[in-house]
Amino acid sequence: MYVATTEEGTPREYPWKLNFDGISNAMGNRIGAVLVSQDGDHYPFTNKLAFNCINNMIEYETCIMGIRETIEHKIKVLEVYGDSALVIYQLKAEWETRDPKLIDYRKLVLELIKEFDDIIFCYLSQDENQMVDTFATLASMIKVNKQEDIKPIQMSIYEAPAYCYNIEEEEKNYHPWYQDILRYVKNREYLEQATQNDKRILRRLTNKYVLDGEIL
């Protein structure tokens, strides 16, 4: 609880809060988040990931899902809380993003947060983030004071990483993210500076793509 004072006649917009967490176990990969309004109303939502991914990818998927839900609510001031130190500090630009699997995720988040007037990312320990952890496992529902605070739970299955859904058909001054894949599928060519490891990764990626005319 707190008391805040402002100059008379000056409106102040208090932030909504977003808590996110992902779970990976024998039952699969599940992501859950809770959006908390200025009045303390809770909006929980969850999804299942139907593709293979590492733990940090799961955390990014969860964060992105929560931010997208927040944008749909037309919220402009947001505090984001998560118990993944790596994801939080990468988004705060305090840690470098070196894992190739995470680079596109971070780029997508940085694009999404342009929709906000103010947004901050805060790290929580797992003990402090138990509410979302519990929800992500679907073991129980969060506690609320009024029946109308509980919103319907919508379940979806994502067949591909979040950033793959963000490709827009528009003219750009730079090559699309799949340019190297397209070049290899079409002409079996690598970049001149590609290392042996880069080539192996590219060959593995291209197994999931085919060429239909000029369309990958």
What is the chain's mean pLDDT, rounded?
Answer: 77
Domains of the chain plus CATH, in order, are 16-165 (3.30.420.10), 174-216 (no CATH)
Whether residue 33 contacts residue 44, with contact meaning beta carbons closer than 8 Å, is answered with yes
Q: What is the pLDDT of residues 107-124, one digit of tens each?
A: 999 999 999 999 999 998
Q: Is the pTM of this model over 0.75?
A: no
Whether residue 160 contacts residue 64, with contact meaning beta carbons closer than 8 Å, is answered with no
The beta-carbon contacts of 162-167 under 8 Å, at least 24 apart in sequence, are 162/60, 162/61, 162/64, 162/65, 162/105, 162/108, 163/104, 163/105, 163/107, 163/108, 166/108, 166/111
Q: What is the pLDDT of residues 37-92, one digit of tens each?
A: 888 777 888 888 888 888 899 999 999 999 998 999 899 999 999 888 999 999 99
